[in-house]
Amino acid sequence: MIGSSMDVKPTALPGVLLIEPKLFGDARGCFMETFSARRYAEHGIVGSFVQDNYSRSRHGILRGLHFQLHKPQSKLVQVLRGEVFDVAVDLRRSSPHFGKWAGEILSAENHRQLFIPAGFAHGFVVLSEEADFVYKCGEYYAPEFERTLMWNDPAIGIEWPIDFAPVLSAKDQAGKLLADCECFE
């Protein structure tokens, strides 16, 4: 069964991967493998995850775009309830994709995961009434190194699938434009 319990697809950004775990079900319910180090390593997702996080947000909440300048975090994200539009932005100045973004709909119905390597900013907006969001991190949270990129920076041009002004935290309202942001080399 190795290799058969998930499909892995590239996104618009090399290294950012869309993972579609297989859901096995019958009249009793369902089962899905949400992580296996060996299976994920077969697709280039290596290293250990050291912290798991959970958030619940209501419709219209936008969280991000966050990153840690030092001790950067890779993330494996998934929605357990509801639906979000999830975004990664390449912040590695040496990358030919610097300042580019990739976004995917993640929901409880599609069971998708998104892997975001270290060196990227990450954020999401809640499209459903509420969303329960979980993610594994490849580095511990270090608030002294956390930075925020402005969610609507026209230089990046993220096409958020919303027709409303999102609700932002004070930290996210104070995000920096890419031109003024400390980034990775």
In the residue annotation, 135 being an active-site residue is answered as: yes
Q: Two tokens at 165?
A: 């002004």
Amino acid sitting at position 143: P
Helix residue ranges, H only, the chain: 37-41, 170-173
Phi-psi region at 39: left, alpha or beta (left = phi > 0; alpha = psi -120 to 50)? alpha
Rg (C-alpha) for the chain, rounded Å, is 16
Catalytic one among 122, 135, 140, 141? 135
Under 8 Å CB-to-CB from 96, ≥6 apart: which residues? none
Choose, from 43, 59, 66, 97, the residue flagged as catalytic.
66
Q: Residue 66 catalytic?
A: yes
Cα separation of the two ends of the chain: 40
- The secondary structure of the chain in percent helix, strand, coil, rounded to multiples of 5, reads 10, 45, 50
Return d(Cα 146, Cα 160) in angstroms, integer. Answer: 23
Which helix (H) or strand (E) covers residue 56, if one does? strand 51-58
**Which residues are catalytically annotated?**
66, 135
